[in-house]
Amino acid sequence: MGRIGNYAAIFVGSLLAAAVLASAQAADPAFQSWLEELWPQAQALGVSRATFDAATRGLEPDLTLPDLDLPGRQAPPRGQAEFVQTPADYIKEANIAYLAEQGKKLAAEHSRTLSAIEQQYGVPGNVLLAIWGRETAFGGYRLPKNAITVLATQGYYGRRKDFFRQELLYALKMLEEGHVKLADMRSSWGGAMGLTQFLPSEFYKYAVDFDGDGKKDIWRSVPDALASAAQQLVGKGWQRGTRWAYEVRAPQGVDCTIGVPEVTRPLGEWLKQGFVLAYGRKPAAAELNEPASLLLPEGTYGPAFLTLKNYYVIKEYNFSDLYVLFVGHLSERISDPRRFETPWSKNTQLRTAQVETMQRTLTKLGLYKDKIDGKAGMLTRAALGAYQKANQLKVDCWPTAAVLDDMQKRAAKN
């Protein structure tokens, strides 16, 4: 889902660059033809010609969007903020504290609604408030894009054309059925809409009329938006009565290469092996037998976490570990003022191109088998740790210029 990210980091550029992009955005006849070719598919979904024409008439692609496949053109940076910032950058204490204070007020204001949602779906109100806070600052953030423009642009020029073409068709269906007016169909760069950021297909799977007014209004109705988010989490496997994760103190000399989802042990086993829950927290008895995996967002630096299934359910909402950590921590801070017990380090993040180089080297060495995407995720960090082990380097599972330099020197000798 989701997915508003740090727009300033993605879209802010010089006036000259903006002018170049604007001139590059001249009408593309092939794009217009592609739009018209969608009409039979839209009609099959029940969209009228009047609705289709009103939504697509004069529509021009937005070439400032990330993740476009534009041969020969310099495109804006790919990806969302959660993929290019360090944990300390993304999970800023000032932001968490501000949203937590707002969340406390909203928890009191909507207490009856949140209790009713939790009773029905099993998702704690604070988790839903945290998603709302992260996605749209509790509705205070105006989504910057027109959803139809975004979905059409991504459907024609994007790297996931089939996916976004289908989302565009569902968006047209939403207009036809009167769920939202075209002028109010604002979205993120990825086409997600509403207070808690739903893609059109997710709207049709999970949207709920929780306030009983006959409309599924994820744009203005807090009960509808939060209940819809709860139903989506349940649809992705949310477990009632189980936390998302526990911050822990890892034992001295922990092997950071096991910090991947594939290595799971019952939570109780991790605790027997020397992992200590932060702030002396006590797990529920039922949680001790729940499978958990180790998450080390900064390798051996910064906080460590034992993640339960609900961690990965939130990650289905937005596929980013930092997003889940932000939402999970914010959900706790709404009722608990304590920060992470272990602070984030002052480590910096390598540039995307440097991480891609590292991933290619690790792939050639047979240590890494995932995407070359320039993102220092769990699998990249674990593979890096394996490289450090094999070459008698300090094993910290954190990509640095020094380790990249070591890789390049060794590669040059071979």
- Asked if residue 205 has pLDDT above 80, the reply is yes
Question: Taking Cα atoms as reference points, which of 395, 391, 364, 371 lies closest to residue 382?
Answer: 395
Fill in the DSSP letter of residue 79.
S
- Asked if residue 213 has pLDDT above 60, the reply is yes
Write phi, then psi, for 242 (nearest 5 degrees): -120, 140
pLDDT at 269: 98
pLDDT in tens, 142-197: 999 999 999 999 999 999 999 999 999 999 999 999 999 999 999 999 999 999 99
Find the helix or strand (DSSP H, E) in which 8 lies. helix 7-11
- pLDDT above 70 as % of the chain: 90
- Cα–Cα distance between 288 and 9 in angstroms, integer? 41
pLDDT at 74: 52
- Asked if residue 271 has pLDDT above 80, the reply is yes
pLDDT at 72: 65
What mean pLDDT do residues 259-269 have?
96
pLDDT at 1: 53
pLDDT at 6: 40
Question: Taking Cα atoms as reference points, which of 31, 27, 318, 41 lies closest to residue 168?
Answer: 41
What mean pLDDT do residues 299-321 have?
95
pLDDT at 375: 87
- Asked if residue 73 has pLDDT above 90, the reply is no
pLDDT in tens, 92-141: 999 999 999 999 999 999 999 999 999 999 999 999 999 999 999 999 99
Counting Cβ atoms within 10 Å, is residue 182 exposed (0-12), middle (13-18) or buried (19+)?
middle
- Cα–Cα distance between 354 and 338 in angstroms, integer? 36
pLDDT at 373: 87
Question: E strands within 85-198?
Answer: 145-146, 186-187
- CA distances for 135 relative to 128, 140, 196, 313, 369, angstroms: 11, 10, 6, 16, 31
Question: Taking Cα atoms as reference points, which of 318, 324, 279 lies closest to residue 199?
Answer: 318
328 pLDDT band, cuts 50/70/90, is very high
Crossing angle for the helix pair 309-317 and 125-136, to the nearest 10 degrees: 30
Find the helix or strand (DSSP H, E) in which 205 lies. helix 200-206
- Cα–Cα distance between 57 and 122 in angstroms, integer? 44
Contacts of 245 (CB under 8 A, 6+ apart): 295, 305, 306, 307, 308, 310, 311, 324, 328
Mean pLDDT lowest for which of 5-19, 59-73, 341-355? 5-19
pLDDT at 412: 84
- CA distances for 275 relative to 270, 280, 291, 293, 320, angstroms: 6, 11, 15, 12, 24
- Asked if residue 21 has pLDDT above 80, the reply is no
For the four alpha carbons of 397, 402, 403 and 404, in that order, the dihedral sign comes to positive
pLDDT at 413: 83
- Asked if residue 25 has pLDDT above 50, the reply is no
Q: Are 59 and 149 in contact (CB under 8 A)?
A: yes
Mean pLDDT lowest for which of 64-68, 195-199, 297-301? 64-68
- Cα–Cα distance between 362 and 388 in angstroms, integer? 11
- Asked if residue 16 has pLDDT above 50, the reply is no
Domains along the sequence of the chain with CATH: 7-81+146-193 (1.10.8), 245-333 (no CATH), 352-413 (1.10.101)
Q: Burial code of 304-327, b = ≥16 C-beta within 10 A, e = fewer? A: bbbbbbbbbbbbebbbbbbbbbbb
Q: How far apart are the first and last CA of the chain?
A: 44
- Cα–Cα distance between 25 and 34 in angstroms, integer? 16
pLDDT in tens, 353-397: 999 999 999 999 999 999 998 888 999 999 999 999 999 999 999
What mean pLDDT do residues 223-229 have?
98
- Cα–Cα distance between 280 and 278 in angstroms, integer? 5
pLDDT in tens, 335-363: 999 999 999 998 888 898 999 999 999 99
